[in-house]
Each structure stands twice: as structure tokens, then as C-alpha cells.
Amino acid sequence: MRSPALARAPATPGGPLTALIEALPEAVWLVDAAELRVLAANGAAVRLLGIPEDELRGRSMVELSATPQDLCFWADVAAGLSEGIASDTMVQRADGTLLQVTRSVSRITPGAASGNCDDFYVVALHDRSAECRAEQEAATLLAGLRATLESTADGILVTDLAGHISAFNQRFAALWGLDEKLLTQRDDDAVREWMHDSVAEPVAYAERLAAIEEATLLQTSDVFSLRTGRVIERVTLPQCSQGRPIGRVYSFRDITERLEANQRIEQLSHTDALTGLPNRRLLTDRIEFALAMAERDATPFAVLFLDLDRFKHINDTLGHVFGDRVLVDVSERIKSCLRQVDTVARLGGDEFVMIVHQSAAAGAEATAQRVMEAMARPFVLDGFSFTVTCSIGIALCPEDGASMDELLRHADKAMYSVKEGGRAGYRFHQPRKDVDLRSRMRIDHAMRQALGQGRFRLHYQPQVEFASGRVVGAEALLRWHDPEMGEMRPAEFIPVAEESGFIVAIGEWVLDEAVRQAARWRVHGLEIVVAVNVSALQFNKPDFVESVARALRESGLPPQSLELELTESILIQDAQEALARLEALARIGVRLSIDDFGTGYSSLGYLKRFPIGQLKIDRSFVDGLPGDASDAAIVQAIVSMGRALNLKVIAEGVENEAQRQFLQGVGCDLFQGFLFAPALDAPSFVACAAAAPRPAKRTMRLVSA
């Protein structure tokens, strides 16, 4: 029943005013100034509260108040104290939920001419729910960013395009030794001046900083020294919003100890203690680099293997100290015959190896002749004059081999041919081409027969997650037993298959068989990712992407359960074409991985663009862990790069517990190798996976392949 005041007052203050508030986009109430009851509400108010207009009409402000503060507010309104003030409050919807709104109240006096002498209030409500959610999300994000800044070991400085400081972390302040007053005053100019005065070469630092700030989209890194002697690495990245640069992020890292350690490691592990020449380890790096350059640019190079003739007589007659002095003299003579880009290394004893870059047979022969001439000059030590001759064997890349072992072995054989022929000369490697060709023809024919007769088989090497110890993946590895030649190693027949092009047919069989096997396992509760190696010829086939999609469709295997392992060379042969294929595979949902990472040539720009999800550390870097400092540094660098690019990292060839512990310590995600299990046939793999830890929510039944 309505109160006397409401019975006395009209239902609304007037038709035109009611029509006016109905046209307003925001929620509006008309409230009786005497009784503080709703006289009318527009459609926006009805939608805001979820209460029909006829139910709102006549409701008191006390009844609609959602908080104690609201009661006080309306008491002030009644007393004329809060009129015309916009305030933030909450209102309650029909379903009991609270909405945050901005409320304003204005008093209206119609006057006698309107036919209604009662005053009323116009109450406007602006819904702030979305704004409050956005503010909360922004506050949460800001807190997360601050925590992230403080959690990193690097010093971080964020500036706008004008160079004004937006944010920094405490590591930045500590690294630069910033005075506490500068941090509290937030004087940008003073901070920049402090940094300028702290570097060892302020002029070069200022010029470099100016160049960085001028190029708003520049991504770069550089190294400089502080007056304290510390060496700082600075990485700069543009900060963008909606595709436009708005500032810059600087990351500072103290690399002093790392540089000092690297220098000590370089000196101890990469040079020969007697002659100062590169030793076998550094020679390996130089040859691998030359091989990569030869593969990328098709530039030949030569390997010369030198051994002194009858050097044992010098040691036996004059002593090892005298012999060491001769070796030092020999090393200097060899160096004088080489260009600056070439390399001479001492393998040990009286054996030396030379790498002559961008050189075919003629260049290698000219180098050998210069060395022979230098060695022909008399040696004079302590007034004693004598002659030392040498024998040199020459191997050319790619004619005589495409790996370090092949080139050294063939150059060594050629050197021994010189020894057998009377010493003091040089000779090129002479491959037994007819024998090799017949052998390769035999293997090629047998492979084609084996595929048609079903003699190929797949074994699966478990891939184990460091964090849980679970088997989460399996690399499919090809095996072949020939009735006449016996068990064939992949290293024997895969190169022949690649040369003949038959690797495409083999690769398609491997893909189909591995996908079908993974699908059968999945039906029986073993959900793992199966990894399949892809050759360059197979990847570059026009229908390769469709063949992958077809194999998945026919088997019913989810795309995310298949991982394709690609070599680095595949990705750089035709970057644009490779990117298009990789993106097509990614759209299917297939996982992509780079195999034998670090042994080829990779561009970080390509890695950033390509939809790669995982890097596989080659076993050659794992073999020496944890004792080999170079291998350890390389592995740490790969893992760190993987984290920076948001990629998982898996190590292959893990054969002992020390290697496993080191890899887990540096943050590697997965591993495979003989420490856990060799490559197994399908039933053995199932048993191995079942014995490893697995989630309790699924039960895996042991099934036959």
C-alpha cells in the first residue's frame, strides 16, 4: 500500500521529463525529495539492476542501499549536504550481485507552473564494473611485471622514447652502484650522468647510446667496461604497443667472471702447451667450422697432415728437451707458410695438421711446397746444424670426405703413403673409387628390395622428462637386417639412400609406421609423442605437408602426438619456403624440433620466426659432460637460448649419471640415451614406459606391438 505522500504525488514528475530520462543512455532514477522514494526509472536503470520499472517505482533509497555508507549518503542528501556531488558506490542487482557505479544527485524544483510543487532528485548511475575490472587486471599485471623484474639476475632499465626512466629493478641499481639519493629522487638526468661517468670509455659509450636511442626499432647487444674493471653486456630491445615503438628495454649483465673463466679455459684446453698452437680440441672446432662454411657456401678446403721424418732419432740422440726446441722451430716455420685465415695445429708428438681454407688441389699443393721449402732450410740450435724433413698427406673437402674423421683419416693415409715411398714429400689421398661405387650400388639395390619385402623395422628410444622421470616421447629409429650383409648400421646405408634419393621412400615408410604405432599405443593408454627424423629431400617434396596430414588422418593419431625432427641445414637452404612449410605443419598441430642442434649453421633470426617448439642437443656436446668445459659452456648456452626463445630442450646420447645430473642442473627439459634405455622394439618400449613413473589418473595396459 502506498504512503500518503505517494498518494498525494503524481506517479511521475511529468511526461516530458519521463521521456527525457528514457532517452538517456545511463541509468537514471527520479526520486521524491520528501520521501526519498523512486518516482520513475528509465530502461537503462531497469537493465542495470535487473528489476522491472513497476517494481522499482515506490522503492525507498534505504531499501535500495547496498552499504552502510549509502544510508549515510542518503541522510546527507535529505539534509541537502550531498547534492551535486558525484561519488563512487555500489548498487545491488535483483540477483544479489553488487555493481560498482558512479552516482550523482541533482535536486529539481518544478514550480507551480508545472502543476506539481513537490521537489525531486535526478539520480544518475554510471556502471563502473568494466573499469574496475580493467583497473584490477592492470594492477595485477603491474605487480607481476614488478615481480618479474626483481626475479631476474640481470639489471633491467626501461625508458620511453625520450630516454625518461619508466622502470628499473634493484639489480640494475646494484650493478651500476647508483647512489640511494638518485633512486629516491628519480632524477633521470642525474642517473644518466652517473652511468656515463661510471664507464671506462665515456665518449664511445655516449656515441653508442645515442645511436641506439635514435633507432627506435633497433635490437642489439654490446659490451663495455666500467671504471671498476667489471665488464658489462648490454642487450637492448624496443618496447612496442600496438605495433608502434613506445620505449626501450635495456638488460645489463656482469660477464666479468665468465670472460675470465673463458679465457682460462681457452688457454688451458685449446692450445698446445709447448708450441702455443691449437691442439686437437681446437682443431676439431676449426674443421667443423670449415665444414659448415663449405656446406653453406660450397667453398672447398684442404687438410694437410704433416709428420716429421725420423724425429725419434733426434729425441734419442740429443734428448727430449732439444727435441722440444726443434718442435717449436718447426711450428714457427709452418706458420710462416700459411695465410692468416688458415690454421696449423699440433696433434701431439711430431704430428701437425694444417687447414687451408677456400683452397682446391692447386692451392693445397702450393702450400705443401712452401712448407717443404721452409723445412729444407738447415736447423741451427746451440751451434749444431742439422736437417729435418717431413712427409705431408693431403685430403680435400668435399672430394675426400664430408666429416672431420674422414678428412683426417684420408690425409693420414696419404701421409703414410709418402713414408712408404721414401719420405720427404707430399701426396694427395687416392680413394678406391671403383670399390666404393660397387659397394654403394650393392647397398642401394638391397635397400630397395628390403623396403618391398618388409625387412625394415623401427625401434623406439624413450625420451624422458627430467622433472617427473616419465617417458613422454619416443624417437623412431630405423633398423635393417639384410640376409647377406647382416645388420646394417644407419651410418652405412642412410648416406647411400640420400645420394640416390631413395631416402624419400624410406622416410615416408618410417613416418607412416611410426604414426600407426603411436596410434595403437594411444588406444591402449600409452599417450606419448613419437619423434620422426625428416630428411631434406623428403621435407622439400611439394606434397610433404599433405603426406603428414594423411598419415595422421588414416591412423587417428592427434597431431600434437607427432614431432618432426629437422636438421638446421633444411631450414636455411630456402628460408622462405621452409617457413611456409613449417607454418603449414604448425597449423595442422604437429610439433617441430631441430635435430643435432649446434652442429650446423643456425640463424637466431630464423629460430625466432620459425614455429619450432624444441631443440635437440647433439650427442657430440653431451659426450664430454660434465668435465669438458667447452661442452659444458655450449650446452648451457643452448639451454639458455632455448629458454629465451620459449623452446623446450632435449639432450641425446646421455650415457651416465653425471651427464644426466649436469643436464638437469642447467635446466634441460628432456633426455634420451643408454643411461635410461637404448632404442627398443615396440613391445620392449611399452614395458619400459610402463615401468617409469606416469600420471595416476590413467591406467596403461601392457600390450603387444
Gap between the Cα atoms of 97 and 512, Å rounded: 57
Q: How far apart are alpha carbons 618 and 623 in whole angstroms?
A: 9
Element (H, E) at 128: none
Q: For position 168, what pLDDT does the model report?
A: 83
pLDDT at 116: 54
118 or 339, which is more confident = 339
Helices (H), 94-169: 129-151
Grid cell for residue 144: 607481476
Please, where in the chain does CATH 3.30.70.270 lie? 261-431
Topology adopted by domain 261-431: Alpha-Beta Plaits (3.30.70)
CATH 3.20.20.450 intervals, the chain: 454-691
User: Is 454-691 CATH 3.20.20.450?
Assistant: yes
Q: Which of 610-635 are b and which e, b meaning 16 or more Cβ less than 10 Å from the residue's Cβ? A: bebbbbbbbbbbbebbbebbbbbebb
Q: What pLDDT is attached to residue 702?
A: 38
Q: What is the pLDDT of residues 677-697, one digit of tens each?
A: 999 999 999 999 988 775 444
Confidence of residue 437 (pLDDT cuts 50, 70, 90): low
Range with top average pLDDT, 100-109, 121-130, 375-384, 566-575: 375-384
**pLDDT, tens only, 63-77:** 888 788 887 888 777
Instruction: Please say whether the beta carbons of 692 and 470 come within 8 A.
Output: yes
Overall average pLDDT of the 268-296 stretch: 88
Q: Has residue 423 got a pLDDT over 80? A: yes
Higher per-residue confidence, 184 vs 52: 52
DSSP string computed for 358-417: T--HHHHHHHHHHHHHHHHSPEEETTEEE---EEEEEEEETTT-SSHHHHHHHHHHHHHH
pLDDT of 640 higher than 70? yes
State the pTM of this model: 0.43
One of 3.30.479.20, 3.40.50.300, 3.40.640.10, 3.30.450.20 is the CATH number of 4-127, namely 3.30.450.20
Would you place residue 315 in the very low, low, confident or very high pLDDT band (cuts 50, 70, 90)? confident
Q: What are the residue ranges of CATH 3.30.450.20 in the chain?
A: 4-127, 147-254
Instruction: Please give the pLDDT value at position 9.
Output: 40
- What tens digit of pLDDT does each residue of 463-500 get? 999 999 999 999 999 999 999 999 999 988 998 998 88
In this structure, the number of other CB atoms found within 10 A of the CB of residue 240 comes to 12
Q: Which has more pLDDT, 380 or 82?
A: 380
Residue 605 has pLDDT above 80, yes or no: no
What percent of the chain shows pLDDT beyond 90?
Answer: 42
In our burial notation (b when 16+ CB lie closer than 10 A, e otherwise), range 304-316 reads bbbbbbebeebbe
pLDDT at 117 over 60: no
CATH fold, domain 147-254, is Beta-Lactamase (3.30.450)
